[in-house]
Structure 1
Amino acid sequence: MAVLKRVLAGAALAGLASAAPLVKKGDFQFVATVPYGDTIFSVGDIDYLASTSSPVLSAASTHSLTTGSIVPFTVITTGDCYVSADFVSSTVESFAEWDDVYSAGFLEGVYISSNCTGATIDPAVFTWAESANVTSLFLSSDFASVNPGKTSYTVSSIYQPTPIECGPYAVAISEGGAASFSLVYRLYEDFQRTFIMGVYPAQDSIGSFKGLPQYLTKFQDEMIPVPSRIYSWSDSRPLAGLRVAIKDLYDLNGVQTSGGSRSWATITPIANITAPAIQRVIDLGGHIVAKFKTAQFASGANPWDFIDTQPPFNPRGDGYLTCDCSSAGGGCSMAAYDWLDHSIGSDTSWSMRRPASVSGTYGNRPSQGMITLDHVLPLGATQDTAGVFARTPKAWAHFAKNWYSPTLHQDSSITGLTEPLIINDTYKWPAKVYYPKDLFEPARNPAAAAIVQEFVANLTALGIQRVDINITDMVLKAPIASVSNVATWKAASSLLITNTAYWVIGKPLVTAWAAMFGGRYPPLDPNHTSWFHFNESTISDDKVAAAIAVKQAYSDWINYDFLGADDETCSGALWVYDIGTGGLPSYRYQQLITTAYPQATNMSYTPPTAKFTGSSVCSFAGCPDYTVPIGQVPYYSNVTFTTEMVPVTINVVARRGCDFMLFNLFEEMENRGMLATIKTGRTAF
C-alpha cells in the first residue's frame, strides 16, 4: 500500500486489520465561518477548521446529500486494481492510530478512489461500511460495475476526479450537486500563550497564508490550525509533514509581521513575500502552522518588560518560570506541545540559546552566515542568525541538515566575516573539550553541577579529552587588543547591533509614526523607548567600519587560535559552558527574583571571577553554539509552594563551519543513551 509505506509495515497493517472496526461516532456541528470564508466545525469534542473557500477537489457526483451541507469524509486513495475490505478497514485504522487530526467522526462519509481504470471492489467493503456506521459512500468513476450485495447502500460516484491525498476532509455540496473536498486542520488551544496567531495556506497561486484570529471563549487562547499528517504520507521530501512555528520576525506571505510591536504593525503592510529561509521549509514539505511571540524587535527583554504582548508561559515546573527573551515563544511552545515538531527562531546575542535552556529543549545558534535572513526583521545584521528548536537530537539534526543549504548562505558583506563559510559534515570528534572553570565555579546548584560533570565525562568516553582552562585569563592574555580588551569588543558588538536596529527599525518607525500621528513618538516597550531616541552622530560609517574590524580580529582568534582548525575533525577543540540558570528557578515575575527569594536567579549572570558571559563569545565570533538539555533538578517553587523540577542544560561550542559535526556528535550521544528525547509538560525527562 504505497500511501502508507513511509509509516506502516505490513505486519502492523495485518494487526490493525484484525482489530475491531473503527466506528463513526460524534456528531458534526457547525461552529463559525471565519472572515476568509472558511469553516470551523466540531466532531464530538474536537474542533476543526476546513479551508472551504479553496477546496482541493470539486467534482460532479451522484448522491443524496443535502445541498449546502458540509459532511466530514474519509478519503482513501490507492493504485491497486482490487480494493478489499481488509485494505479499507486497515487503512482507516491506521489513520486513527498514526494521526492526531483524524478521528472516527470522519467516517460520516467515505470516498474510495483508485488510480486503476476498471478497478473492482470487494462487496465486503459495503458490509464494513454498514458496521462502521458510514452514512455516505463515494467511489471514483474508475471503478467498474459495483455490486453492494445485500446491504442497503446506494453507492455514489465521483466523476473524473483529480487525485487527492488520503485523510480527513470536509465535503461541501453545491447547488448543482458537485462535491467539493477541503483540507481539514485540527484546532489546538495555545494554553501556554506562546503564539501570536495560527496560520494556514491560502491554497492560492502565490503561496500566501491566512492568519486565524480565533479564540476559545473560556481562556481567550489562540487556536492553532494543524494539518493532518496523512496528507504527507506519500510525500518523499525530507521535511514532509513536519509542523513548524516561526518567530514573528520572519515574513510570511499574506500575514502581518509585527516583531512584537503594535507600532511596527501599524506602519507596515502585510507581507507579500515569504522569507527565503521559511520558503525553504515549505519547499522541503514542512507545514507552517503559527507565528510565535518574541520580545519586541528580538531584544533581550525580561518577561516583565513585554508590554505590547503578554510573555509566553513556560510549561516547566510550576508553570510560572521564565521563557526568557527574544525567541521565548519558540522554546516554550516546543516544551509544551507534542503536536508541534519544530520552531524556527533567531539568535543575535543569546535569543535561541537562553529560551532553549529554560524550556529544556534543544536549540542552536548556528555559524554566522549559515542561512539568509532576507525578509526577516533584523536586530544586528552582523550577528543575527537563524536557529531551530527540537525535542530530540536526531530530529534536530535531520531538520537542520536539510534546512541549512549552501545556496542560502549569507554574503560576507552582511556578516562582516571575510572567511568563507565551509560546512564540514564529519563524524570524527575533536581531540579535546575545554572546561572553563571560571564560568562554572562556584556552582550555583551542586545537583545541577553534578549533571554537568556527567555530561563532560560522557564526552571523554567518546575519546574527547577534558582540558580545564580559565577562559577569562586566556582572553585577557591574548596578543590581540581586539580580544584582550573586553570593553573594546563588547562596545563593538553593541555598536553593530545598534547600527542595524536604529537605521532599519528605529528611524523608519519613528519617522513614519510622527508623520501619521502629529509628530508623536511611537509607543514602545521599555528597553526601546530610549534606544531609538538618541543622537545619530554617535553611529558613523567610520565607527561601524572600526567595529567590523574588531569583530573580524576577534572571530579569527576565537575560531583559529582558541578553538583551532582540523581537517578531519573540523574543530580542533570544543568548549562548554552554561548559558542557563545553573539549576535555579528564574521567574516570569520580577517580584519572585528578589532577596526575599534567594534561591531564584536572574537570567543575566556573570560568574564572579569572569569578565564576560559564555554567550557573548560566539555572538561576536560567529561560531556555532548549541544548547543541549541534559537533566533536571528539584527546586522549591515560590508559586506552588511545593517541590518542582527545573531543566539543566549545557552549551557546546565549536569552530565556525563545524555545525554538522556537532549534530553528528549529539546523534551519537543519543545512540549511546547519553542524550535523550525530552518530554512536553512540567518535566523534561
Structure 2
Amino acid sequence: MVSLKTCVIAGIHYLIHPQKLGTITATINPDSILPVTLLTTEEIFGGHLEQLLDEYARVDDVFVPDFGGVLVEKVPGNETNSISTASQVDVGREIYHLEPTVGVFDQLFDLPSGPYILHGPNVYQAWRLYEDTYEAFTFGVIPEDVTQADQFRALNALSPDGIFKSIPVPSRLYFPNPSPENPLSGARVSISDGMNLRGVRTTLSSQAWMSLYPAARTTADCAQKLMDLGAVIVGKTKVSQFASGEQWVDVQAPWSPRADQYQDPSGSSAGAGVALVGYDWLEHAVGEDAIDGLRSPAARNGVYALRPSFSNDSLSGVRVSSSRFDTIDLASRSLEGLHDIATAILAATTSKLPENIIYLEDFVTDIPQQQLDFLDKFVQTLESLLGVKTQHRSISDVWDDNPPSDAGRQDLHGFMKEAPFRSFCYDYAGEYGEFRDEYRQRFDQEPFVEASPRFRWGIGANVTEDEYNSYMKRIQVFQSWFSDNIVPSDSSVVAVFPYGATGPAYRQNKPEEPEAIEGLTPALLAPILGLPQLVVPFGQIPYESEVSERTEYLPLSIAVLGARGNDIGLVELVNQALVKAEWTTEVDTGRLAFAEPKRIWSTDVNSIVEDNQARGAELRR
C-alpha cells in the first residue's frame, strides 16, 4: 500500500492523492512538491487565462491562486507538445507539458482541468484537508482509484496541532456538471458509520465491535448508488453505540455547533447532523434512521431530513437495529439540496402534491404555547399553497370514535403500549446476537456495551416468539387503520405535528437510566407506519444558556408525514409553500440555523408571539 503524503500550499493543508495520473516531460527534482494547474492549450493561450483562474478560485475551495503560478499543458491526440505555440504567446508563467503516454484515463487529454500537485515529475490530484473540529466523523476516506471508486482507505492524517482528524475533499473541478445520468456529480456526501464501505472499518462506536471485525469487503448498496450517481463520499460520520447508545463511552460524542455548542447532538446518526451544520464544504449526509423514541438529530441540529418510505432494498450492507423498522435517512441544509439527493436516490417514488392537511394534536401536550403559535404559522403556509383549511385531529380520539374490530375495547394507548418498543427490542437483540456470541468465543468475556443498548437487548431477549408475533399483528392493525382513517394511501393527505426538542438538552448532563418507550411518540410514528417523513426546521426559539450565560437559539422543527411512495411530493410541497410565503428554505452552519438578517424571532422570550408579525419583513428577505 502506497503511503500518503501531505503538503502545505498557501497555508492550507493538502493530501497528495497517491494515484499517479501522468508525468511531465521536464526533468525536475524528484523530491520537489509543486502546486500546478492543468489546462488545455486553448485554455492557456486563448486569451482568457486570468479570467479562468479567477473563476476557478471563485467556484472551487480546493483551488487557491498559488496553483495558477505554474501551468501544465495537456494536448489532444498525438500532439506531444505545443512549445511553438507557447513561444508565440507569453502568459507570464512557467509551463510544463505532459508526456503523451496514456495513463489511468483513456487519454491524458481527458484529465479534468484544475488544480494538481507535481511530486517530482508526476501529476497527482490535490485533496484539501479540512479539520473535523466538531468531531463529527469517525474518519475521512479516499478512493484507491479516482476513476473507479470501488475500494477505499481511511485517512489517518491529523490537523497541524494534532488534535483533530482531517477530512479530505477533492477539487470540484474534477467533476463534470450534473446530468440526468450523474445528477449528484461532484456532490460531497458523508455516510453513516453503520454503512459498509469496501476497504475501511465499520466501528459502530464500539471498541468491542472493532476488535472483532476487519475492514468491510463490500460496499453498502446505498453508498454504491450514491457513487454511481456521481457523488463523492468524503468520510463516515459517527453513530451512537449500536445506534442506541447515549453515554458515548468508547468514542467522543460529536460537538453540536448550534446555540451554546454544548447541546446534545442526539440520536443514532448524531455525526451526520453535526457535520452538515458544522461544515459548509459538505453538501449532503446519509445516515440510517433507527428507532430512537424521542430523539432526532435532524430536529436537534436544524437540518432538512427525509426518512423515505420503508424499503428493505436500501439496507443491504447497512448494520441495522431492525430490518422491519430501520431505513436510510437523507439530510441537507436546504430543501433544494434535499430534493436533489432524494430525487436521485428515490427515483421510483411518486411526486404528487396532497390536497388536505391534518394537524395531529396527540404530540402537543408538553410543548409551550409560544412554540405552538409558531407551528401554526408554518401550517398556514401549507394552507395558502393548497387552498385548504387544516383539520385538527387526535389519533387517539379518532380511534375511540371508530376503533378497528381487532382492537377489542382497548383504547389506542392500551393497544399500542408495548407493541412498537418491545417488537423493536426483539429485532434489535436478534441483530446483535451473533456479535455477542462471537465476542464471547474469541475473548472469553462479555463485550462492553453502553446502558441503553444493553437495556434494549435485555428486553428483546425476554420477548417470546408468540409475543413478538402478537406485537407485529397489532402494528399491522394500526397501520391499516391509520391508512383508512388518517393518511390514506392515495397521497391526498399529509399529517403535520411538532417534532424535536422543546428546550435545551446539555451534553454534560448524564442521561437518566434507560426506560422503555410506551405507546406512540413523534419519533416512532413514521418507523411504525413505514411512511415517508420530512423534518423541516423553520425557525428558532430562545433560551437562557447555563453555559454561555446569555440568550441562545435552538432550531424549531416540524414533521410532515405523507403517504407511502410520495416521498418527493413531501419535499416539493414544503418547498413550494415556503417559497410562496417568502420564507427561507435553507439553514446556515454554525450557532444559528437562521442568522441575521434571516432570524425570525425576537430575543425577548416574553414577546415572541407579539413580535412575530413585526419580524415578518425580515422573514420575507
Above 0.5 in TM-score?
A: yes
What is the match of residue 361 of structure 2? 437
State the percentage of identical aligned residues: 26
Q: Which letter maps to 1:576?
A: V
What is the match of residue 479 of structure 1? 403
TM-score (norm 2): 0.86
Deviation of residue 84 (structure 1)? 2.9
Deviation of residue 168 (structure 1)? 1.3
The answer to whether the Cα contact below 8 Å between 2:6 and 2:14 also exists between their aligned partners in 1 is: yes
Q: Which letter maps to 1:627?
A: V
Specify whether residues 212 and 140 from structure 1 end up closer, same or farther in structure 2 by C-alpha distance, changes over 3 A only. closer
Specify whether residues 200 and 475 from structure 1 end up closer, same or farther in structure 2 by C-alpha distance, changes over 3 A only. farther
Deviation of residue 399 (structure 1)? 0.7
What is the match of residue 578 of structure 1? 498
Asked whether 1:103 is paired with 2:64, we answer: yes
Equivalent-residue separation in structure 1 for 2:543 and 2:87 (angstroms): 60
Structure 1 residues 367-446: aligned runs within 5 Å: 367-369=309-311, 371-406=313-348, 423-426=349-352, 428-430=353-355, 432-441=356-365, 443-444=367-368, 446=370
What is the match of residue 113 of structure 2? 166
Secondary structure of 2:110 counterpart = coil
Structure 1 residues 338-377: aligned runs within 5 Å: 338-350=280-292, 354-369=296-311, 371-377=313-319
Secondary structure of 2:201 counterpart = coil
TM-score (norm 1): 0.79
Deviation of residue 442 (structure 1)? 5.8
The answer to whether the Cα contact below 8 Å between 2:294 and 2:521 also exists between their aligned partners in 1 is: no
Deviation of residue 351 (structure 1)? 8.2
The answer to whether the Cα contact below 8 Å between 1:298 and 1:351 also exists between their aligned partners in 2 is: no
Determine which of 200, 206, 209 is the counterpart of 1:264: 209
Specify whether residues 83 and 319 from structure 1 end up closer, same or farther in structure 2 by C-alpha distance, changes over 3 A only. closer
Determine which of 33, 36, 41 is the counterpart of 2:7: 41
Determine which of 512, 519, 524 is the counterpart of 1:616: 524
Equivalent-residue separation in structure 1 for 2:262 and 2:87 (angstroms): 56
What is the match of residue 58 of structure 1? 22
The answer to whether the Cα contact below 8 Å between 2:534 and 2:571 also exists between their aligned partners in 1 is: no
Deviations 1:101-132 (A, max 9, x none): 1112223431122436669686598533x2xx
What is the match of residue 259 of structure 2? 317
Deviations 1:241-263 (A, max 9, x none): 10001111000000100112111
What is the match of residue 489 of structure 2? 565
The answer to whether the Cα contact below 8 Å between 1:246 and 1:288 also exists between their aligned partners in 2 is: yes
Aligned residues: 579
Deviations 1:365-398 (A, max 9, x none): 2111174201110101100110111111111011
What is the match of residue 412 of structure 1? none
Determine which of 38, 59, 71 is the counterpart of 1:75: 38
Secondary structure of 1:86 counterpart = coil
Equivalent-residue separation in structure 2 for 1:604 and 1:230 (angstroms): 50
Q: Which letter maps to 1:215?
A: L
The answer to whether the Cα contact below 8 Å between 1:472 and 1:611 also exists between their aligned partners in 2 is: no
Specify whether residues 206 and 651 from structure 1 end up closer, same or farther in structure 2 by C-alpha distance, changes over 3 A only. closer
Equivalent-residue separation in structure 2 for 1:642 and 1:65 (angstroms): 58
Asked whether 1:661 is paired with 2:569, we answer: yes
The answer to whether the Cα contact below 8 Å between 2:266 and 2:295 also exists between their aligned partners in 1 is: no
Deviations 1:252-282 (A, max 9, x none): 0001001121111111121011101110000
The answer to whether the Cα contact below 8 Å between 1:201 and 1:208 also exists between their aligned partners in 2 is: yes
Q: Which letter maps to 1:92?
A: L
Deviations 1:552-605 (A, max 9, x none): 222222233211233xxx2x32111122123x22221216x99xxxxxxx9999
What is the match of residue 240 of structure 1? 185
The answer to whether the Cα contact below 8 Å between 2:191 and 2:235 also exists between their aligned partners in 1 is: yes
The answer to which of 285-294 and 369-378 deviates more is: 369-378
Deviation of residue 537 (structure 1)? 6.2
Equivalent-residue separation in structure 2 for 1:611 and 1:469 (angstroms): 18
Structure 1 residues 183-198: aligned runs within 5 Å: 183-198=125-140
Structure 2 gap segments, 5+ residues each: 101-105, 595-621
Deviation of residue 92 (structure 1)? 1.5
The answer to whether the Cα contact below 8 Å between 2:293 and 2:521 also exists between their aligned partners in 1 is: no
What is the match of residue 154 of structure 1? none
The answer to whether the Cα contact below 8 Å between 1:382 and 1:496 also exists between their aligned partners in 2 is: no
The answer to whether the Cα contact below 8 Å between 1:352 and 1:363 also exists between their aligned partners in 2 is: no
Structure 1 gap segments, 5+ residues each: 1-34, 143-158, 174-178, 407-422, 595-601
What is the match of residue 680 of structure 1? 589
Asked whether 1:251 is paired with 2:196, we answer: yes
Equivalent-residue separation in structure 2 for 1:192 and 1:376 (angstroms): 25
Equivalent-residue separation in structure 1 for 2:2 and 2:295 (angstroms): 37
Q: Which letter maps to 1:500?
A: D
Secondary structure of 2:368 counterpart = coil
Secondary structure of 1:662 counterpart = helix
The answer to whether the Cα contact below 8 Å between 1:358 and 1:580 also exists between their aligned partners in 2 is: yes
Equivalent-residue separation in structure 1 for 2:306 and 2:201 (angstroms): 26
Equivalent-residue separation in structure 1 for 2:515 and 2:132 (angstroms): 28
The answer to whether the Cα contact below 8 Å between 1:560 and 1:655 also exists between their aligned partners in 2 is: no
Equivalent-residue separation in structure 2 for 1:646 and 1:531 (angstroms): 30
Specify whether residues 645 and 125 from structure 1 end up closer, same or farther in structure 2 by C-alpha distance, changes over 3 A only. farther
Deviation of residue 64 (structure 1)? 3.7
